[in-house]
């Protein structure tokens, strides 16, 4: 959102090669809100000790938290609602720091957590004052090949490189935990953090935390199940020191709709501003839904009939015409041509009217620049600051420092307080119960790897190959083949270590394919070998090219990558692979329905929890593939032969029938 509009707004080029006419928009400046520090806020490190002592004296069981990358304080507020006091908060955004300092006691510092000196300083404060919980949502950036190689080297050898000023902020977060060793860690982030091929960041964090003695749980949560009125998925990692077991908070099946959340707020036009600037307010009647009543709790009595920050952008005349045509199912491409300022093949969902009777779409920081994704359900304008705050579960008394654009940005970046409260309650309960976790990813991975390394594979012997080409040819010809076919044919394929070897015996491959009713597959093997010609070194790039040319599937390329490490560090990868068979094992093991929902998130997380990220992870992952074909079959598992049965939920069940899944 811009804090002021220009006198004219000129349409951007559409996909039809012409420019739209200019529309005059009245200049409207957003109020610039300044917030005084909380009366109990402290300004310096030295003042933290008396505050902590006072809190401990008043309640010896009081849990204290440090909120890193705290933003406006959504997580701090949620923890506060759970009875946990944030005594230290760190962020680098000026307006967010001002907002946090206004609403919370303790030390709110505008420090750069990418600075090694700051990392040391924050670590020392947390450790010195025995702060119980370290929480936050560190930004996570994609890795370069060099960065990935460095992380793998550390995981494999334990040798850490010197502090790199360019290191990512999640590494700063992890280092603070390593130095301070708090009782609990809560990390919140976008699910994309776990969706790269290797899930490198998440697996590294789990590996490191378990090495420090933490029991770690990670899950993608749908925040609406905790009372947040929007579709917002978040990756949450919780780690408890000394192997203490964590149980996820209970979920609700009932959705809080957009109308439940904001239906009581007064009607305003786009660009409306109250008298009094930042101190101005809109007249308010009363809350109706239970959610609205919660949002009005703790509003001072003299502000009972006021609502603050109920302001939004002005609406251009052409936008107003477009908004009037929109219902909740209308797409941008459905609008008349004269109202399109953007290419509708790229921006098909550029405009989105929210459904009053359903969840809002995810409120993100992008709302600060463009509110078209968030058009009011019944009014022809984008959302107000207060409406966005409500959809993030910030109560009405919570204000945001800076201009409206800064307020929107802080709201979009925040952890919804309702989610923070649920997590805070769950962590408190877990620490109080003090039950020990029965297993760790490290133990499970080690058991799987040991079984794999000591077992003669029956279903997929090519998972112990001499070359990646052996894996490709065997997967193409023998995947899901009867065991007797595998036993007779694999020794032949094993002799062909390169595509060139296969081409020399092309007719033999075709004959074998014909004998077992897989002639088309045999022909495909020869075609792939011909495409590779004299390319016998199957690097990641070569495998990717085969996938792009649709000669092999991505799944086969990933198995070839996993089954045999490359001799080149630049090529080394360890992807987390899923298919129906692998998901079946993970689902039975965890007792969760990861085979039926969110394969790319829940499924991959479940597999990653089993294989870990150590020198044993490759063997552990490959063992799941073999187990899925020999031990944990669709018709039912043979738990007496499974190397991880002692930790398997299905193995402990009174009736395995409950956990058996349909045939592939």
For residue 224, give Cα distances in angstroms to 253, 555, 599.
Answer: 9, 33, 20
Which of 341, 403, 402 is CA-nearest to residue 372?
A: 341
Q: What are phi and psi of 83, to 5 degrees?
A: 90, 20
Cβ contact 617:455 at 8 Å: no
**To the nearest 10°, the Cα dihedral for 395, 401, 405, 410?**
-60
Helix (H) / strand (E) element for 51: namely helix 48-58
What is the spatial distance between Cα 240 and Cα 434, in angstroms, rounded to a whole number? Answer: 10
Q: Which residue has the tokens 């559409």?
A: 14
CB atoms within 10 A of CB 277: 12
Catalytic residue among 135, 140, 632, 648: 140
Whole-number CA gyration radius for the chain: 28
Three-state SS for 387?
helix
Q: From residue 437, give the alpha-carbon distance in Å to each of 187, 434, 508.
A: 19, 9, 54
Does the CA dihedral 627-630-635-640 come out positive or negative?
Answer: negative
Nearest 5°: the CA angle 23, 28, 30 is 135
The single residue listed with the structure tokens 């953090």 is 193
- Host H or E run for residue 375: none
Task: Measure the CA–CA gap between 382 and 322, rounded to whole angstroms.
Answer: 12
Q: Give start and end residues of each alpha helix (H) in 498-571.
A: 499-504, 506-515, 519-532, 540-548, 554-563
Question: Which whole-number Å values give the CA distances from 413 to 79, 526, 593, in the listed order?
Answer: 17, 52, 30
Instruction: Report the alpha-carbon distance of residue 335 to residue 344 in Å, rounded.
Output: 9
Cα(47)–Cα(592) distance, rounded to whole angstroms? 47
Kind and range of the H or E run holding 518: none
Which residues are 222's β-sheet partners? 233
Residue 102 in tokens: 């206004």
CA-nearest of 302, 312, 247 to 273 is 312
Assign 3-state DSSP to the chain and report helix, strand, coil percentages, each to 5: 45, 10, 45
Q: CA 540 from chain center: how many Å?
A: 26
Cα 209 to chain centroid, rounded: 18
Known catalytic membership, residue 140: yes
**Cα separation, 31 vs 280, whole angstroms:** 9
Could you tell me the CA-to-CA distances from 58 to 54, 67, 104, 163 in Å, in that order? 6, 22, 18, 40
626, 455 Cβ separation under 8 angstroms: yes
* Whole-Å CA distances, 148 to 145, 198, 570, 617, 655: 5, 10, 9, 16, 44
Residue 7, classed as helix, strand or coil, is coil
Residue 90 phi, psi (nearest 5):
-135, 130
Provide the annotated active-site residues. Answer: 140
């Amino acid at each position: 959102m811009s804090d002021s509009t220009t006198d004219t707004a000129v349409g951007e080029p559409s996909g039809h090669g012409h420019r739209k006419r200019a529309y005059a928009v009245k200049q409207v400046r957003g109020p610039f809100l300044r917030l005084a520090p909380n009366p109990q806020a402290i300004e310096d490190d030295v003042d933290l000790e008396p505050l902590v002592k006072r809190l401990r004296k008043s309640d010896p069981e009081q849990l204290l938290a440090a909120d890193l990358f705290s933003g406006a304080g959504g997580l701090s507020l949620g923890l506060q609602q759970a009875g946990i006091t944030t005594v230290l908060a760190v962020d680098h955004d000026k307006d967010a720091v001002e907002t946090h300092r206004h609403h919370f006691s303790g030390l709110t510092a505008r420090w750069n957590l990418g600075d090694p000196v700051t990392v040391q300083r924050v670590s020392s404060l947390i450790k010195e004052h025995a702060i119980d919980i370290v929480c936050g949502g560190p930004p996570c950036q994609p890795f370069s090949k060099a960065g990935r190689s460095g992380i793998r080297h550390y995981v494999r050898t334990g040798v850490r490189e010197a502090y790199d000023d360019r290191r990512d902020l999640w590494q700063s977060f992890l280092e603070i935990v390593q130095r301070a060793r708090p009782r609990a860690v809560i990390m919140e982030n976008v699910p994309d953090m776990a969706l790269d091929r290797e899930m490198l960041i998440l697996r590294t964090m789990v590996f490191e935390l378990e090495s420090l003695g933490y029991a770690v749980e990670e899950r993608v949560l749908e925040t609406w199940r905790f009372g947040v009125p929007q579709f917002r998925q978040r990756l949450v990692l919780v780690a408890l020191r000394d192997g203490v077991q964590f149980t996820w908070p209970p979920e609700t099946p009932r959705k809080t709709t957009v109308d439940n959340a904001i239906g009581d707020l007064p009607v305003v036009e786009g660009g409306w501003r109250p008298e009094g600037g930042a101190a101005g307010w809109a007249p308010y009647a009363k809350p109706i839904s239970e959610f609205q009543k919660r949002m009005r709790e703790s509003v001072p009595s003299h502000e009972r009939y006021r609502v603050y920050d109920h302001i939004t952008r002005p609406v251009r005349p052409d936008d107003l015409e477009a908004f009037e045509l929109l219902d909740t199912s209308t797409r941008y491409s459905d609008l008349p041509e004269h109202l399109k300022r953007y290419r509708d093949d790229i921006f098909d969902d550029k405009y989105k009217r929210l459904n009053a009777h359903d969840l809002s779409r995810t409120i993100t920081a992008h709302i600060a620049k463009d509110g078209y994704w968030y058009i009011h359900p019944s009014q022809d304008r984008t959302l107000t600051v207060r409406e966005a705050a409500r959809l993030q579960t910030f109560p009405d008394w919570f204000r945001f420092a800076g201009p409206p654009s800064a307020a929107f940005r802080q709201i979009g970046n925040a952890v919804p307080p309702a989610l923070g409260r649920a997590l805070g309650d769950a962590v408190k309960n877990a620490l109080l119960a003090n039950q020990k976790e029965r297993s760790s990813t490290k133990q499970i991975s080690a058991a799987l790897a040991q079984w794999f390394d000591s077992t003669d594979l029956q279903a997929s012997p090519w998972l112990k190959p001499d070359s990646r080409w052996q894996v490709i040819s065997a997967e193409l010809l023998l995947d899901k083949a009867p065991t007797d076919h595998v036993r007779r044919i694999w020794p032949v394929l094993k002799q062909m270590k390169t595509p060139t070897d296969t081409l020399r015996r092309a007719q033999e491959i075709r004959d074998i394919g014909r004998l077992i009713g897989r002639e088309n597959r045999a022909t495909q093997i020869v075609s792939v070998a011909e495409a590779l010609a004299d390319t016998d070194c199957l690097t990641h790039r070569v495998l990717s090219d085969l996938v792009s040319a649709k000669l092999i599937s991505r799944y086969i390329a990933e198995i070839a990558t996993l089954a045999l490490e490359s001799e080149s560090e630049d090529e080394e990868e360890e992807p987390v692979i899923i298919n129906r068979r692998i998901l079946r094992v993970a689902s039975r093991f965890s007792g969760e329905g990861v085979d039926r929902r969110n394969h790319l998130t829940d499924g991959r997380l479940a597999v990653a929890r089993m294989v870990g990220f150590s020198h044993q992870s490759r063997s552990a992952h490959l063992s799941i593939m073999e187990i899925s074909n020999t031990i944990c079959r669709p018709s039912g598992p043979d738990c007496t032969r499974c190397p991880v049965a002692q930790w398997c939920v299905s193995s402990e069940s009174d009736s395995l029938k409950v956990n058996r899944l349909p045939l592939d």
